[in-house]
Amino acid sequence: MIVCVAVVGQQNNPLYLQSFTEAGDELKLHHIVHCSLDVIDERVNNPKKSWPTLNETFLGLLYPSENYKVYGYLTNTKVKFILVTIDMEVKDADMRNFFRRFHAAFVDAVSNPFHVPGKKITSRSFASRVSAIVKSFGSGTTA
C-alpha cells in the first residue's frame, strides 16, 4: 500500500505531498520524505557505479528500512518524486510505471498557465489524478 507520494522542488522544498493513511499522522510522512532527500542528494552528488546511472530518472529504492520503503524519481528539471510504501514486495517495473504516469500528471499540472513554477501545487485535478494513479497501482499489484 502506498502511504504517501510527494513532489519536492529543486531547492528541496515540498511542492506537493499527499498521504493515504487517513489518520492525522502526515507529519511523520513529511519527515520520511524530507529525510529521503538525503539519499537523493547523495546519489546525485556522488554517483557511483553501483547505483543506476544518472541518465535514468528512476532512482529505485532509496531506503531499505525494516517497515517501509521509499522510492525516488528525479526529473530532468531536478524535481523529485518520492513514494513511501509499506508493501515489502514491489516490482521495480511496477514502480517505474507508476512514476512514469505520475510524471505525466505532474507535467500536466505545472503546464497550467496559472501555476507559478517553484510554488506548491494546489490543483485539485492533479490531486484526484494522483489518487487515481495510486489506487490503480495498488490494484495492479494485487491483481
Partner 1 sequence: MANYLSPFQTIKSACDRLVIAVEDVSDLWPSVKEGFEQRLPFQKACLNNKTRNPVFVEQLPAEFILTTDPRLRSRFPQEQSVFWFREPYATVVLVTCEDLEEFKTILKPRLKLIVQNDEKEWFIVFVSKAHPSNDQATKMAKKVYAKLEVDFSSKKRERCCKLDLHGTESIFWEDLESKMVESIRNTLDRRVQFYEEEIRKLSEQRFLPVWNFCNFFILKESLAFMFEMAHLHEDSLREYDELELCYLETVNTPVRQREFGGLDHGDDQAALLNPVFKPLTQIIQDDSFREFEFRQYLFACQSKLLFKLSRPVEVAARGYAFIISFSKTLALHENALPFCLREAWVITACLAVINSTSSHYDGGVVAPDVEKEFYRLQGDLYSLCRIKFMRLAYLIGYGVEMERSPANSASLSMLPWPRPAVWPVSSPDASSEVFAKEKIILQANPGAKHFDIQRKPLPLEPSSLLREANRRRASLSIGNVSELLDSRHSVTDGSGADGVSKFSPSSKTNPSSMSRNFSGPVNFESSSPSLDRPMRLSEIHVAAEHALKRTISDLDLLKSLSTLQDFEQKYMELTKGAADKYHNSCWKRHGVALDREIAALCFKHGNFDLAAKSYEKVCALYAGEGWQDLLAEVLPNLAECQKILNDQAGYLSSCVRLLSLDNVLFSTKERRAFQSEVVRLAHSEMKHPVPLNVSSLITFAGNPGPPLELSDGDPGTLSVTVWSGFPDDIALESLSMTLVATNNVDEGVEAIKCSDAPVLKPGRNTVTLALPPQKPGSYVLGVLTGQIGHLRFRSHGFSKGGPPDSDDFMSFEKPTKPVLKVFKPRPLVDIVAAISSALLMNEPQWVGLIVKPMNYSLRGAILHIDPGPELMIEESQMIEIEDYMSVMERMPQITESIALENVSSISTEKSEQLLLGNGKIALPDWASDITTVLWFPVRAIDDRMARGTSAVYPQRQSVVDGMRTIALKLVFGAFHNQIFERTIAVHFTNPLHVSTRVVDKCNDGNLLLQVIMHSQVKASIHIYDAWIDLQDGFVHIGKGDGRPISSFFPVVISPSSRAAILFSIRLGSMTNEDEVPTESILNMRYGVSGDRNVGAHTPVSANPGVERELLFKSTLILQRPVLDPCLAVGFLPFSSDCLKVGQLVSMQWRVERLKDLVESPRSTLNVLQDELLYEINVNPDNWMIAGRKRGHVFLSTMQGSRVVITVTCVPLISGYVRPPQLGLPDVDDANISYNPAGPHLVCVLPPTLSSSFCVPAAA
Binding site for partner 1 (CB under 8 A): 1, 11-14, 17, 21-32, 34-35, 37-39, 41-42, 45-46, 64, 66-68, 86, 118-120
Residue 75 CB, nearest approach to partner 1 (Å): 18
Question: For 59-143, where are the alpha helices, taking DSSP H only?
Answer: 92-110, 124-142
- Beta bridge partners of residue 60, listed in sequence order: 72
Residue 130 CB, nearest approach to partner 1 (Å): 18
Closer CB to partner 1, 14 or 96, in the complex:
14
Query: Contact 70/86 with Cβ under 8 angstroms?
Result: no
Closer CB to partner 1, 3 or 133, in the complex:
3
Residue 131 CB, nearest approach to partner 1 (Å): 16
Closer CB to partner 1, 104 or 112, in the complex:
112
Q: In what order do the strands lie in the sheet with 69-74?
A: 14-19, 2-8, 80-85, 69-74, 58-64
- Beta bridge partners of residue 71, listed in sequence order: 61, 83
- Beta bridge partners of residue 83, listed in sequence order: 5, 71
Is residue 73 helix, strand or coil? strand
Residue 26 CB, nearest approach to partner 1 (Å): 7
Closer CB to partner 1, 46 or 76, in the complex:
46
